[in-house]
Chains A and B, each alone.
Chain A
Amino acid sequence: MTATHETSGAEETARKIRVLIAKPGLDGHDRGAKIVARALRDGGCEVIYTGIRQTPQMIAEAALQEDVDVVGLSILSGAHLELFPRIVEELTSRGLDDVLLFCGGIIPEEDTQALEGLGFSAIFRPGTNTGDIVSFVRDNAPAG
């Protein structure tokens, strides 16, 4: 039997992609967020789910404590242009400017550019196949 790895391979447990799924604002239900969380779990990710009604500080603080690679925001209320910049600001002020950001929910086409400018790498609208979200996360999560 031959050794396939000689050094670090023997010592490292497989690195897991850690994803925070958060619902900012006052949306009362989180069905969509939970579906995404489950799909990502089934895709092998470790998903931290924090529940509804999260403020920008709460989201950034959870991202910091959990050392996530990816933050996914789900929003239905229409407050994204108001809340997302504040979330990005809170993340940045904590030194979390390298996380992969995506969002989903009810987000008009005309807001796409603004969100891309904020650093969102993908926007998933209702009807998206959850498999696309999983592939996006797995293909784009920062390494290490």
Chain B
Amino acid sequence: MTDLVERLLAGDRRALSRVLTRVENGTREGRDDLRRLYPRSGRAHTVGVTGGAGSGKSSLTGALAGELRRRGQRVGVIAVDPSSPFTQGAILGDRIRMQDLVLDEGVFVRSMAGRGALGGLAPAIDDVVAVMDAFGFPYVFIETVGAGQDEVEIAGTALTTVLVNNPGTGDDIQALKAGIIEIADVLVVNKADRPGADVLVSQLRALLALAPGEGRDPPILSTVATTGEGVPALVDAIDEHRAHLERTGALGRQRRREARHQVLSTAQRILLERIRAGTSEEALAELVAQVAGRSLDPHTAAERLVGAGRADAG
């Protein structure tokens, strides 16, 4: 049996890993793989874990996966770190915080680089999540560094979004004011072993009370990711959010929102790739030079590129 998709569906982890690469790279094989696997996806509970750099997202994701293993569940993890805007290289270090799980066959951790996606989420993230889902993990966690935009994006990718905050930083309340709180289904105060955790919890509660609540307020939980304190309650809250989605019929709406997001973001990606493929480097350089020299405005230049992409597609 050499077909990678068949091997993947039979539970072969090496095949899963190979398919993840093909899908992430957006190769022709990867697109074929995804076409075959997509109908098998849609069962996993996808959970986004987002928050500032160093807030403890990786540690918490590891602790959550550990708790779910104790409950007999298998867990896929996708940890996204930014690529360097200069070299497009990346150092992906999230596994350091998930060492306990490395040899557990019920867990699969994959690191992904942002690869220059404008918002910070990797371009192929939805596709990679669908592959993990189709493999049969009942839970798929997606860790992303939050910088505003990505947090909103992750909410389009995951059923449940967990927003991680820390006491004593002061930034978080700022960020929350900027509207990010609206995407959180569960709020976490991690590093609750540090001073100020209770204050942060009451601040968050006050903030939620101010927000024009349309229905459900996200629960606020305190955790210490490094010891596991509060983690079982967080798993319960994540499960409860899914149950809530199912109870209220919001799950269907959320799935359609996800699908819409995926169709549009993929269309955007394909269009950009076509434009790039339909334009020689020289032609692009020529347009760029004209814009830099102010003999052409960026809008007209972009229109010309789009025109070239369309001609190529047709």
Contacts and interface: CB of A to CB of B under 8 A. Distances in A.
Chain B contact-residue range equals 35 or more
B206 interface: no
Contacts of A66: 17, 110-111
Interface in B272-286: 273-274, 276-281, 283
B10 to A, nearest CB: 15
A64 B17 contact: yes
Given A58-B103, A65-B108, A3 B25 contact: no
Contacts of A65: 13, 17, 108-110
B88 A44 contact: yes
Given A37-B91, A41-B90, A94-B14, A67 B20 contact: yes
A11 B89 contact: no
A62 interface: yes
A1 B25 contact: no
Interface stretch (B66-74, B94-102, B168-176, B236-244): B94-102
B211 to A, nearest CB: 38
A45 interface: yes
Interface stretch (B26-34, B183-191, B196-204, B222-230): B26-34
Given A3-B312, A64-B13, A11 B27 contact: yes
Contacts of A1: 278-280, 283, 304, 308, 311
A41 B102 CA distance: 23
B102 A58 contact: yes
Contacts of A43: 87, 89
A16 B115 contact: yes
A58 B280 CA distance: 45
B87 A44 contact: yes
A11 B110 contact: no
Given A58-B99, A62-B102, A49 B279 contact: no
A97 to B, nearest CB: 12
A127 B15 CA distance: 39
Interface string B101-135: 01100001111010100000001100000000000
